[in-house]
Amino acid sequence: MAVTVVPIQIRRGNEVDFNASKMLPGEFAVSLDMGITRIAFSPGNVAILAKQSDVDAVDARVDDLELEISGISSDISGINTTLSDLTPRVAQAENRITSLGTSLNNRIDTVSETLNSQISGLSANVNEQISDINDEIEELKTNDRIFSFEVNSDGHLMQTVERRDSSNTQFALVDGRLVVTYG
């Protein structure tokens, strides 16, 4: 095999004068003003070569990013731990709220039943008193008397009975009791 010795060509000049389309395959080019080194694979197909300082800077940046990623990963792990701790507490709170809602509904039902029972009892008591008053009115009617009814300023039902002898008797329903006043 024959060995061909070819002198190494390296183009050099300022960056502003660089033209990639003039480079030959395997040819190097150096921008003296910018410190950029290139190699051509074909005219116009050129790659920039990195300097050791560029590689060191990239390595340092990679190390910084790895530290940041490690810190972020640690933060995410902490957040996941916190979420794991909170999940049962949230479930407990939801259960407690449900329990309180059920308890409140039961209490409302109990109070409602009690109030309905009390109202029913009061209604029966009032109806009984009205019946008693009606009975007394009927009895007084049979004794040839004149009756009049009114509600006084206290909100009590007043009944006035006038006898033929001009004396007045007043009946009042006060706090569930029949009060009779002779005049």
Q: How far is the C-alpha of 159 from the C-alpha of 132, rounded, in Å? A: 13
Q: How far is the C-alpha of 148 from the C-alpha of 138, rounded, in Å? A: 13
The pLDDT of residue 46 is 94
Strand order in the sheet with 157-162: 146-151, 157-162, 168-174, 177-182
- Cα dihedral sign for 28, 31, 37, 42? negative
First to last CA, the chain: 155
58-81 average pLDDT score: 90
Condensed to tens digits (0 to 9), the pLDDT of residues 34-51 reads 989 999 999 999 999 988
Amino acid at 95: N
Condensed to tens digits (0 to 9), the pLDDT of residues 85-124 reads 888 888 888 999 999 989 999 999 999 999 888 888 888 8
165, pLDDT greater than 60:
no
